[in-house]
Structure 1
Amino acid sequence: MLKKKIVGFILFLFVLNCFAQEPEGWYNGKPVLEIKFKGLQNIEASELDEIFKSYKKKTFSDDLYWEILQKIYALDYFTDIVPKAIPADEKYNSVFLEFIVKEKPAVKDIVFIGNSNIKKSDLLSAINIKKGDIFNEINVKNAERALKDFYIEKGFTKAEIASNTSEDKEKNSIKVEFSVKEGKVSVINKILFEGNSKFPEKALKKVLVSKEAWLLQKGLFREDALQADKSAIKLFYGEHGYIDAHVETIKRDIDSTSDPQKDQITLTYVIMEGEQFTYAGIDFQGNYIFSSEELGEKFKLKKGDIFNLKKFEIGFGDVANLYYENGYTGNYIDKKENRNTSTKEVSYTVLIIERERSHIENIIIKGNTKTKDKVILRELLLKEGDVFSKTKIMNSFRNLANLRYFSTVLPDVLPGSEPDLVDVIINVEEQSTAGIQFGITFSGVSDTNAFPMSVFAQWEEKNLFGTGRELSVNLNAASDTQSLTLGFTENWFLGKPISVGFDFSVAHKTLNTYQDLMYPFNNIPDPHLTMDEFNANPSLSDAFKMKYDRLEFGFGMNSGYRWFPKFAVITLRGGVNFGIVKKFL
């Protein structure tokens, strides 16, 4: 980090020297019209434009330049960066910032050697390196660990992963090669228990993460599952009052000879059960905001009941959530066990140190390169300065997920600048919000001269320019029918959760109808003179059918309002449509 800052400072001095070649200080206070990058090979200019577009039209200053430079270095895309300021006009009223860069090598190809049991596509999905990415050695090491974990998850506990890279300097690219030694797959052949007198093996096996191989159950062995098994057994016994019960050890017997493709493992869980305890109640110390009766209601246990560790932990969590939900995020809450070994009773004392209610100091958004901050902020049920509420935070993230702009929405809460302040961090990962559909349909037609094919195309953008607006275009075309529909929706009208939408459509149809030149004197399809003649031979009139065109114009408006109660998002929507039809020969 220090090295980067030193290099950045040297470049900062260099850029000042570049600026000095023009009239001294001409760029200060001038708007930045554009930020350009020269020397790009593998990185798309559009990607950088999206990242740095927020700086356009801002007034140039040393702070602004330093912020841009730090952001460029944070990308970790380049080995060399040469900055340059260019007057945007002859009068030096605005400035272009240009960065001449040298890219780090890009990943040209990813190769796996030795993977006979797992497909390449599955291995690629397990790592974060993709073809075309800028090469980063740390990412390769992380990929090694990810592949190792992936193999362990698949039961290959002895798998070994190594990486090697080869560089093509002419193409500025790197080939990444992963060598895999898979080894045998480890399978759980049998699960046994020792020391269990209170519960049968069948009941204990149900709570385990590890499972025996049987029929459709693969029984893959995973080292991390053993710790989960220990916790599951402890909790199971704890639900029945055995608060000292635990797994002392898990013995492993490995058979590597019976099957050349598998290591067959027998697991033996050695359990110490202890004595069964009953529940003797709970008391609270240090609580003034909420009464002991109100806090005690969170525990669904009664005195004299067989102690249930799971119910007690849920109740303890509910006490903490009660404070947390009402904005008391800085409280200290702990529990003390009181055990009477002679009567086999256990009670608890909950110790509480109450502090001031927390308010939201900052709401910080991370990960959005397209979606504007205001689009995210307006979906939140809290704003800076409000009392913190866990429920409102979670419902806010529900609203963000419902937008379908993001593949991932993760909340985080960090301490603020004062003990009673917190920062809410919103981490998002954007996904594509545009949709394109295209199709061709073949079908029969009533008109023998019509071509029996129609095409349709639809384009929809749910987050237009990152503003949260929606725009759609629908096109249908056949030999006798053509239509075009345009739609637009503003989802937050005047800063309120009011949606206002408009759609406009135009359609052309070529139609046929019976001709009657004698109308209104003789209202019978030509060439017939009476209805009896027509009923006797109606197909004769088909030869005299008249072809005409119909042009339809449609305009629609719709509006809706959204409410955000705790349990759901409720929307009330309505609209009106108008149409004009013109027929002509």
Structure 2
Amino acid sequence: MVSLQQAVAQDTNFRIQDPTSISQLEYEIREITVSGLVTARESYLISSSGLRVGDRISIPGEEISEAIRRLHRTGLFSDVEIEYERVSGGVRIHIKVQEQPRLQRYELVGGKRSHRRDLRERLNLISGFAVTNSVRNQALNTIYRYYREEGYWNTDVNVVEEVSDDERNRISLRFEIDPGERIKVREINFSGNEEFSNRKLRKEFSTIKQDRWWRIFKRHVYTQDEYEEGIQNVLQFYRNNGYRDVRVLEDSVYVDNWRRSKDGVIFDIEIEEGPQYRVRNINWEGNTVYTDEELTQAFGFQKGDVFNESKFQENLEFRRDDGDISSLYQNIGYLFFDVYPNIEIVQGDSLDLNFEIVEGEIATIREVEFAGNTKTHDDVVRRTLRTVPGATYSRSAIVRSIRELGQLGYFNPEGIQPDLQPDPENNTVDILYNLDETQGTDNFEFSGGFGGRQIGIILAARVNFNNFSVQRMFEPGGWNPIPSGDGQRLSLGVQVTGRGYQSYNFSFTEPWLRGRPTSLGVSLSYDFLNYNNRSIGGIAQPDRRNELFSASVSLGRRLQWPDDYFQHRTILTYNHFNVAGFSGIFEDGRADLLTLRHVIERNSTDNPISPRFGSKFSISGEVAIPLPNFQQFYKIKSSYMHHQTLVGKLVFSAGAEYGYMGYLSDSGRSNFQRFFLGGTQIQQRQNFLNDNIDLRGFPGGFNGVISPLDPNQNLVGGRVYNKYTLELRYPAVSSEQIQLIPYAFVDAGNTFNDLNRFDPFEVKRAAGFGARIFLPILGLVDLSYGYRLDGTPASNEGQGLRAGEWEFLFNIGAPF
């Protein structure tokens, strides 16, 4: 036997059976055989080798070497040999392999139980897969990276392999983990900084904080990525304050003794600030559409201003309010507009900002297409878009289209990606919207709560079809499983309690009536509440019964003035009440109410669940039409909520709400439909004789709601109310399966008998925290835990509420 290993492949074995010559000859492969397989398939091995029966190969030659390399690259074999035997008309190839062992199981030893649980979720070790060197190294890197992110230093991992006794070529891995010592960042030191203090720079570093006892919610452990991001944050802070030449001369991260013999991670960062630059001159060239003065005003810099790098980029390229230079041009059709800035340093610490503008020609939209809507019908998407073929190109129209599509709730706002295909020769552009349709458009809501001693446990269930289609109800195959795709909303709900309360409701909304931006809605509901065997203070109370039938129809339309964020809606509602046991409301226990309500609303928020920016303003007027034997009053309400992103994903929201109730005649005055504050919509639904305003930190029900008292200590409700809200929230998890949005809040509000007693600063306050959880199948759940800073007075209905107590509330639905 003659070995041609050196001639064929340097790191493999190639043996020739019955050789006749060591010179290179060409043969046809007549047969391929395989040995050594345990779990891999023979067909896969032959295919991976690249050798085929009928191929002609040279021996010795590159084909054999390449086949061996191919098989090694699969990672499934630890050793590969190829032999051949000359037969009539060619050669027989025989491939001998030794498989890599397959994973039977793996075990993590050492470290905390929680660490092992987290590591199992990260490790990509699957039973039955080949255990290669790459797999081992990847697992080790995952373990080391996890402990680095948790702040552990000097982590050590030993891998022990145990080969099984059977013939299946199985192996077990045991990772013996010594986590090392968890060392927190104790000091972040800066040197060379003269204009800004160490404290200010540590704040701007932001990603990692020094460990101090009061920073219980801050991150104090070192990771390389967060450290580098923090360095860039500090440099960007300098550049935004005019220091364009700032740089880090030297930095180091090390562990050293800190206080009381504690080890700590210490950052030493040496900075060279350089001069602070100010703007001297701003020059524009090539502009014909706008004057130099108009561009300078939009640019936002004046002579003598400190140069701000972030402001420079935003005002030149993109601002949310469309006030940047690029938007000025692109919103009126100049798609091919471009600007070339040239920053010139003069006199040491001054800057001349020179801009060369290429305006180009006005572009026209040629085609508008969209893809990714598998459930929602094309006409629903098409009517939402603000870019239409033949129209002048506008970047703001694309941004508004993305916002409107996101507001539908059918598509993931982050996944809506416009693809522009410009044609400079013909001054046209094609627009393709790539849509990411969510699967959980419809949802089933099930909730529970406590409405106080008089009401008891509350259970509610509702099914919402948010993309319903009446037309498909009558088409073959339309029920698959629910007729959907036309953007209509159908809701069916039921609510019950252990104290005899029942509620059934139905609503339907067509957002585009007859192909126009006109909405039509209808709703029906029936509520029944029976209070039996009640006692307060040991004194038996008379039985009470509330019964309400309600029907309403609404008509709304989107407006173009003052801008196209406005819309108005008119609602006509009929209510029939049958009440027993409530004195001072209706004389004979029965009443009818016909109200006409008109709402004007402006909504520029980016999404309904957790807005990142924008605002919502609403003003409404409602009149209970004074028909014979009907109740009469009128109401005016207004509300405003503004949302602003502060840093990263952190959002701040502030809002105010006011309401006033009057009467068309003195004879119609009563305690019916007055304002009560406190609780959630679930609790408030059961007292439909009142107008209930939700307020966190205060429960619903009769005991504890915020309401004026009459001379007999009865809760009578207010004719005037005010409500204020502050909220700070952070979308911690955002995916198709779940959205988790924790928040902190401060709520305040009060009700008053009339305008003469109204004081906007006399409020009942609560502060606390909570979370909104959105699940596609359940909808939006709001959990809040509020601490009352003020109490409510005792009344004939209960002892009131004391300040300094916590209140847990549970609600369904979006608050914005």
- Given the alignment of the two structures, is residue 495 of structure 1 paired with residue 501 of structure 2, yes or no? no
Secondary structure of the residue that 1:470 maps to in structure 2?
A: strand
| Structure 2 CA distance for partners of 1:503 and 1:192, relative to 1, 3 Å | closer
Q: Which amino acid is 1:116 matched to?
A: K
Q: Following the alignment from structure 1 to structure 2, what is the Cα–Cα distance between the partners of residues 453 and 197?
A: 63
Q: Which residue of 2 aligns with 1:425?
A: 433
| Structure 2 CA distance for partners of 1:113 and 1:421, relative to 1, 3 Å | farther
The answer (yes or no) to whether the contact 1:361–1:416 under 8 Å persists in 2 is no
Q: Which residue of 2 aligns with 1:383?
A: 388
- Given the alignment of the two structures, is residue 415 of structure 1 paired with residue 420 of structure 2, yes or no? yes
Q: 2:555 aligns with which of 559, 573, 577?
A: 559
Q: Which residue of 1 aligns with 2:293?
A: 293
Secondary structure of the residue that 1:204 maps to in structure 2?
A: helix
Q: Which residue of 2 aligns with 1:321?
A: 327
Q: Which residue of 1 aligns with 2:227?
A: 226
| Structure 2 CA distance for partners of 1:355 and 1:258, relative to 1, 3 Å | same
Q: Which residue of 1 aligns with 2:445?
A: 436
Q: Following the alignment from structure 1 to structure 2, what is the Cα–Cα distance between the partners of residues 111 and 573?
A: 66
| Structure 2 CA distance for partners of 1:353 and 1:425, relative to 1, 3 Å | same
Q: Following the alignment from structure 2 to structure 1, what is the Cα–Cα distance between the partners of residues 291 and 279?
A: 21
Secondary structure of the residue that 2:466 maps to in structure 1?
A: strand
- Given the alignment of the two structures, is residue 459 of structure 1 paired with residue 456 of structure 2, yes or no? no
Q: Which amino acid is 1:462 matched to?
A: N
Secondary structure of the residue that 2:431 maps to in structure 1?
A: strand
Q: Which amino acid is 1:425 matched to?
A: Y
Q: How does 1:234-383 map to 2 (within 5 A)?
A: 234-255=235-256, 264-317=264-317, 318-340=324-346, 342-383=347-388
| Structure 2 CA distance for partners of 1:335 and 1:487, relative to 1, 3 Å | same
Q: Which structure 1 residue ranges, 5 or more long, are not aligned?
A: 1-109, 130-140, 163-176, 446-451, 513-541, 543-549
Instruction: Compute the displacement of 1:493 (Å).
Output: 0.9
Secondary structure of the residue that 2:188 maps to in structure 1?
A: strand
Identical columns (%): 24
Instruction: Compute the displacement of 1:494 (Å).
Output: 1.0
Instruction: Compute the displacement of 1:484 (Å).
Output: 4.6
Q: Following the alignment from structure 1 to structure 2, what is the Cα–Cα distance between the partners of residues 316 and 303?
A: 17
Q: Which residue of 1 aligns with 2:212?
A: 214
Q: Which amino acid is 1:202 matched to?
A: R
Secondary structure of the residue that 1:297 maps to in structure 2?
A: helix
Q: Which amino acid is 2:342 matched to?
A: K
Q: 2:488 aligns with which of 436, 448, 469?
A: 469
Tell me whether 435-444 or 567-576 shows the greater mean CA deviation.
Answer: 435-444
Q: Following the alignment from structure 1 to structure 2, what is the Cα–Cα distance between the partners of residues 147 and 373?
A: 48
Q: Following the alignment from structure 1 to structure 2, what is the Cα–Cα distance between the partners of residues 388 and 127?
A: 49
Q: Which amino acid is 1:331 matched to?
A: F
The answer (yes or no) to whether the contact 1:240–1:308 under 8 Å persists in 2 is yes
Q: How does 1:81-160 map to 2 (within 5 A)?
A: 113=108, 116=112, 118=114, 154-155=150-151
Q: Following the alignment from structure 1 to structure 2, what is the Cα–Cα distance between the partners of residues 443 and 268?
A: 58
Q: Which amino acid is 1:379 matched to?
A: T
Tell me whether 113-122 or 397-406 shows the greater mean CA deviation.
Answer: 113-122
Q: Which amino acid is 1:376 matched to?
A: V
Secondary structure of the residue that 1:428 maps to in structure 2?
A: coil
Q: Which amino acid is 1:221 matched to?
A: Y
Instruction: Compute the displacement of 1:404 (Å).
Output: 2.9
Q: Following the alignment from structure 1 to structure 2, what is the Cα–Cα distance between the partners of residues 197 and 502?
A: 67
Secondary structure of the residue that 1:298 maps to in structure 2?
A: helix
The answer (yes or no) to whether the contact 1:409–1:429 under 8 Å persists in 2 is no
Q: Following the alignment from structure 1 to structure 2, what is the Cα–Cα distance between the partners of residues 462 and 178?
A: 51
Instruction: Compute the displacement of 1:185 (Å).
Output: 4.5
| Structure 2 CA distance for partners of 1:256 and 1:425, relative to 1, 3 Å | farther
Q: Which residue of 2 aligns with 1:195?
A: 192
Tell me whether 348-357 or 321-330 shows the greater mean CA deviation.
Answer: 321-330
Q: Following the alignment from structure 2 to structure 1, what is the Cα–Cα distance between the partners of residues 300 and 223?
A: 35
Q: Following the alignment from structure 1 to structure 2, what is the Cα–Cα distance between the partners of residues 489 and 347?
A: 58
The answer (yes or no) to whether the contact 1:481–1:509 under 8 Å persists in 2 is yes
CA deviation profile, 1:519-562 (whole Å, cap 9, x unmatched)? xxxxxxxxxxxxxxxxxxxxxxx9xxxxxxx9997654322223
From the two aligned structures, give the one with the greater helix fraction.
Answer: 1
Q: Which amino acid is 2:429 matched to?
A: L
CA deviation profile, 1:277-301 (whole Å, cap 9, x unmatched)? 3321111222222222211113333
Secondary structure of the residue that 1:234 maps to in structure 2?
A: helix
| Structure 2 CA distance for partners of 1:350 and 1:227, relative to 1, 3 Å | farther
The answer (yes or no) to whether the contact 1:254–1:265 under 8 Å persists in 2 is yes
- When normalised by structure 1's length, the TM-score is 0.56
Q: Following the alignment from structure 1 to structure 2, what is the Cα–Cα distance between the partners of residues 146 and 487?
A: 52
The answer (yes or no) to whether the contact 1:195–1:270 under 8 Å persists in 2 is yes
The answer (yes or no) to whether the contact 2:373–2:437 under 8 Å persists in 1 is yes
Q: Which structure 2 residue ranges, 5 or more long, are not aligned?
A: 1-104, 126-136, 159-172, 318-323, 469-483, 533-541, 579-816
The answer (yes or no) to whether the contact 2:368–2:387 under 8 Å persists in 1 is no
Q: Which residue of 1 aligns with 2:98?
A: none
Q: Following the alignment from structure 2 to structure 1, what is the Cα–Cα distance between the partners of residues 412 and 274?
A: 48
Q: Which residue of 2 aligns with 1:4?
A: none
Q: Which amino acid is 2:276 matched to?
A: Q
Q: Following the alignment from structure 2 to structure 1, what is the Cα–Cα distance between the partners of residues 192 and 458?
A: 74
Instruction: Compute the displacement of 1:497 (Å).
Output: 2.0
Q: Which amino acid is 2:247 matched to?
A: H
Q: Following the alignment from structure 2 to structure 1, what is the Cα–Cα distance between the partners of residues 372 and 227?
A: 36
The answer (yes or no) to whether the contact 2:441–2:465 under 8 Å persists in 1 is no
Q: Following the alignment from structure 1 to structure 2, what is the Cα–Cα distance between the partners of residues 508 and 240?
A: 64
- When normalised by structure 2's length, the TM-score is 0.42
